[in-house]
Each structure stands twice: as structure tokens, then as C-alpha cells.
Structure 1
Amino acid sequence: MNQPLLSIKDMSITFSSPDEADIEAVRQVDLVLTPGKTLALVGESGCGKSVTARAVLRLLDKNARIPKGEILYDAEGGRVDIARLHPDSTAMRAIRGNQISMIFQEPMSSLSPVHTIGDQIDEIIILHQRLSPKKARERTISLLDQVGIPGARDRSNAYPFELSGGLRQRAMIAMALACTPKLLIADEPTTALDVTTQAQILDLLRQLQADFGMAMLFITHDLGVVAEIADDIAVMYLGDVVEQGDVFEVFRAPKHPYTQALMNSVPRLQRKAERTRLTPIKGTVPSPKDRPVGCAFTSRCPHAFAPCPGQRPERTPVSPGHVARCHLLTHVREEALA
């Protein structure tokens, strides 16, 4: 088995406010990323997926901190705890954009509107690879061609607003791959794209992962995309990872009520006589300020019972590599043993 490239252990993230107590946005998260494998982090908006990913690159807001937990990364110079590195330290700068890269959700807000695509990719290559401007530009053109941008040499001189949404996303991928990273974080890279372009981007990411052997953390709320690209899945709700495991195992037998609710809200192809209405998840994700002491999903769970509001459920093994945080699992197990 491959050794983990990055292990997040018991990590919490809080945000401070001058008027209120610290707000816990992410609570005791455990994730493992392995070379050549894709971990999908899924859940509704506001569940802490992007905050978790940004913590890996130490791109959190100034009022955010990681009070507990570890982000252990197998860096080129040896294993380091990213959670303990200063965001502007030399060690963190050597990792960010070089060994670990990120494709952001919206290219137009991530790319500079006053610099060409080529200049922005050149800058990363010159900074981390120490190449001359001429060699950096050749590397940039090669990357743009590799991600499927037609007329790569001419497109390298284009500004972001001159490219379509699909081409901008491809340019973002080229930028993220500029230094051949060990870990690629993709934060909902296909959300704003049409289905045809989305399929092309997913195919491209799979091929690039096979070429480079990199690990990938793929953030999305689209379970169809998860089934297509992921090896493992972690379901996140209100900053808690409530279920995780092999993607086929979790899809085949979801155990947490939130995972079940997500899957029940996905449309399926059925015979006409069997068509039924989708089952939406009632309510909305609460604010982290209103987080229950116990299970985060308590306020929306149809199966909530006595222990749920006041006691946080333990990570319960379902099968090898498949765990869930739900009092129902513990309750059923206790009844079976009684």
C-alpha cells in the first residue's frame, strides 16, 4: 500500500470575533490523502469544505486559527506539520503552489484581470523552478497545450476575459500543475461549467492524475461527479466529517442519515411507472454559532433521539475503511449485544 502523502488528524478551525466568543467552523476532522488516489469532500454549502482545503495551504483569513490537530505532510525535505507553520514562512512558501496546488472555484476571481494567462503561469514557474523567463514561457505553452487549450502559444498572450469559462478553467489547471505538485486540491472546479465542458474537465483531471501520480482532494456537492472521479469520500456537515470510506461502499450502503438524505435528493433514471418526487433535505445548514453540542445534524435529522442533541457520536466502524458518526449505529450495536 502507498504511504499517506498528507494526513489531517483531529484538526479544528476557529474564527475569532471582537464581539463574540470564537466560532468553531471545523471540528476534529480526520482525512488521509494517498498518492494516485482521489478523496472527494462533499456536503452542502457552508459545511466547511473549502475552509478545510484552505487550511492545508494556510490560506485562511487573519482571524482564523488552528487551535488543535495536525496536518502532516510528506514534504520533499521531510515530514512536516503544516498546521504549525506560519503562513508566510519560507517553509510554507516552498510547499504552497509548488508541492501542493489548488484549483479555485471561480477562475475570474482567482486570475488577475490585468495580466495575461502566460505571465501569471510564468511567474509561478520562475519563482519555484528557477527557470529563465524564456524557458518558463516554453514550459507555460507546453502546459497550456497539455490541458487542451487550442493555439496555446497565442492563448498564452490572452487576458482572462478573452477566454471562455471552459478555457479559463483549463488555464487554472495548467497554473496549478506548473510545478508538478504532489497534491492537487480542486475546489468545485466544474460548478460553473456546462455538462459537456464539465465532462471534459473531469476526463482531463483523471488523465493528468494518471500522468503525474499525484493525490487529489476534490471538493464538490455533486454526487454524480463523485461517483465518476473519486476513490474515497468524506461527507461533511457543519464542520464535522459524519461519514467516510470507499466511494462504492458508502454509495452502496450509506449509514449516516445526512449521507442518506443527500443520496435521496439526487434524481435517478427510472421507468415511467416508478417515477417519484425527489426528497429534499428539510431546513438549512445552521450557523456554526448555533452548532449543537452533540450531533451536528440533529436539527434536521428525522431519526434524532435522546442522545443526539447533547452527546457527540463516536466514529463507529461500519466495515473495513468505512466509518460514520451516528448514535443510531451505536444504539443498534448495543441492542445486538444485549
Structure 2
Amino acid sequence: MTAPLLTINDMSIIFTSPDEPDIEAVRQVDLTLTPGKTLALVGESGCGKSVTARAVLRLLDRNADIRTGEILFEGEGGKVDIARLKPDSDAMRAIRGAQVSMIFQEPMSSLSPVHTIGDQIDEIIILHERLTPRQARERTIALLDQVGVPGARERANAYPFELSGGLRQRAMIAMALACTPKLLIADEPTTALDVTTQAQILDLLRQLQDDYGMAMLFITHDLGVVAEIADEIAVMYLGDVVEQGDVFDVFRAPRHPYTQALMNSVPRLQRKAERERLSPIKGNVPSPKDRPQGCAFTSRCPFAFEPCADTRPARTSLPGDHVARCHLLTRTRAEAMA
């Protein structure tokens, strides 16, 4: 067994406000990432996926606090608990960008509009690798060429607004890979791209992962992308990881009603009736301010029964490394033993 690169244990993230009660955006999350493997973090918008990812890089808002838990990272200097590091500390800066990098959701808002692509990548290389500007530029051109940017030497002098969406995304990937990180966090990197460019970016990420042997945390709401790129999956709902395991196990036999609802809402070409409607999940994700005391999915779950509203379900182990949080699983097990 390969030792984990990143282990998140019992992590809860609280947002504070002087005028409002504290909001628990992420609730006792447990995740493990292994070198060379991809963990997909999925769920509807507002479920805490990006907050969880940003916590690993300590890029949370000022009013956000990692209240409990640990983020254990096996870095170059040994194991360190990122949750205990200050965001602006030298130790955190040595990890961020060099050992853990992130591809942000929207390149146009993440890249500086007043600096060229090459200058922005050069800066990261000079900061972490201590190369001269000339050496950094040659490294930048090589990276842009590696990620498939045509005319890399000329494109390095281009500004973000001069590039297409696909080329901006490739430039973001080159920037994230500038220092050959051990962990790459990709926050919905294909959401704004057309299907052809999306397929090219996924192929590129898989190839780069094979080349570097890095772990990848892939955040998305597209289950088709998950099936194509992920080894493991964690399903989040209202800050809770409600189900996780091997991607084939979860897709073949989803056990949590929310995961089942997500699977049923995916369009299929093999629908029986020509005009058969999709099966959307009824209702909306509750506000974190109105989080149910028990299971977060209670208000939308068609199988909810008495304990669901009042008691948070425990993690139930299933065959393999498959786990889920649902009272139905414990009830089924109790009925089987009766």
C-alpha cells in the first residue's frame, strides 16, 4: 500500500460574522489522497467543495476558521499539519505553489489582466526555484509547450484577454505545474469549456499525472467527468461527505439517497420513452444557517424517517473501502440481524 500524501481528519470550517451566528460550512470531513491517484469531490453548488480545497492551501477568507481537525501533508520536510500553519507563514508559502498547486475555476478572473502569461509563470519559478529571469523564461516556454500551447515562445508574451478559453486554461495548468507539485487541486477546470476542449484538458491532466506521479483532487459537479478521470469519489452535501469510495463501487451501487439522486439526474441516451423527462432532485440545498440537526439531506430525501431529522447518521462501512452516512444503512443492517 502506498502511504497517503494528504490526510484530512475530522475537519470543520466555521465562518464567523459580528452580526450573525457562526456558520459551519464544512462539517467533520475525512479525506485521503494517494500519490498517482485522483479523488473527485462532487456535489451541487454551495456544498463546500471549493472551501475544502482552499483549506488545504490556507486560502480561506479572513472570517473562516478551521475550527477542528487536521490536514496532514507528507511534504519534502516530513509530515506537517497544514491546519496549524498560519496562512502567511514561511512554512505555508514553501508548500503553496511548490508542493501543492491549484488550478482555479475561472482563469480569466484568476490570471492578472495587466501581466503577460509568461511573466506570471516566471514569477512562481523564480520564487520557488531560485532561477534567473532568463532561466525562468526558458522553463516557462517549455511548460507552455508541454501543456499544448501552440507557438509557446510567442504566447508567453500574450495577455490573458488575447487567448481563448482553452489556451487560458492550459496556461493555468502550466502555472500550477511550474514547480512539479506533489498534489494538484483542480477546481472545476473544464466547466466553462466546450466538450472538445474539455476532453483535451482531461487527457492532458491524465498524461501529466502519469508523468509526474502526483496526486490530484478534482472538484466537479459533472459525473461524466468523474467516471473518466477519477479513481475515488467523495460526495458532498451541505458541507458533509455523505458517501465515498472507489469510483466504480459508488457508481455501480450508490448507497446514499443523495448519490442515487445525482446519478438519476444524469441525462441518458438510452431513455425508454422518446420524451421521458429528467429526474431532478426536488427542492433546494438548505442554507448553512438553517442546517438540519440530523442528516443534511433530510428535507429532500424521499426515504427520510424519524431519526433522520434529529440525529446525524454515523459513517457506515460497506464492502471494500466504500462508506456512507445514512440511517437507512443502519436500519437495514439491524433488520437483517433481527
TM-score w.r.t. the length of structure 1 is: 0.99
| TM-superposed deviation, 1:22 | 1.1
Aligned to 2:174: 174
Give the Cα separation in 1 of the matches to 2:274 and 2:212.
44
| TM-superposed deviation, 1:268 | 1.1
Give the Cα separation in 2 of the matches to 1:299 and 1:318.
25
The letter for the 1-side match of 2:104 is F
Give the Cα separation in 1 of the matches to 2:77 and 2:305.
50
Aligned to 1:21: 21
The letter for the 1-side match of 2:216 is M
Q: How many residues align?
A: 338
Aligned to 2:319: 319
Aligned to 1:253: 253
Q: Judging changes above 3 Å, is the alpha-carbon distance between structure 1 residues 284 and 62 closer, same or farther for their aligned structure 2 residues?
A: same
- What is the 5 A alignment of 1:152-301? 152-270=152-270, 273=273, 276-301=276-301
SS of residue matched to 1:309: helix
| TM-superposed deviation, 1:273 | 4.9
Aligned to 1:111: 111
The letter for the 2-side match of 1:94 is A
What is the CA deviation profile of residues 270-295 of structure 1, one whole-angstrom value per residue up to 9, with x for unaligned ones?
16657632100011111100000100
SS of residue matched to 2:307: coil
Give structure 1 stretches of 5+ with no counterpart. none
| TM-superposed deviation, 1:250 | 0.1
Give structure 2 stretches of 5+ with no counterpart. none
SS of residue matched to 1:319: coil
Give the Cα separation in 2 of the matches to 1:168 and 1:76.
30
Give the Cα separation in 2 of the matches to 1:120 and 1:79.
30
Give the Cα separation in 2 of the matches to 1:328 and 1:280.
22
What is the CA deviation profile of residues 248-281 of structure 1, one whole-angstrom value per residue up to 9, with x for unaligned ones?
0000000000000000000112166576321000
| TM-superposed deviation, 1:319 | 1.1
Aligned to 2:76: 76
Give the Cα separation in 2 of the matches to 1:27 and 1:273.
41
Considering only aligned residues, what root-mean-square deviation do their CA atoms show, in Å? Answer: 0.8
What is the CA deviation profile of residues 221-253 of structure 1, one whole-angstrom value per residue up to 9, with x for unaligned ones?
000000000000000000000000000000000
Identical columns (%): 85
SS of residue matched to 1:308: helix
The letter for the 2-side match of 1:157 is N
| TM-superposed deviation, 1:311 | 0.2
Runs of 4+ in 1 over 2 A off after TM superposition: 271-276
Give the Cα separation in 1 of the matches to 2:126 and 2:271.
57
What is the CA deviation profile of residues 118-165 of structure 1, one whole-angstrom value per residue up to 9, with x for unaligned ones?
000000000000000000000000000000000000000000000000
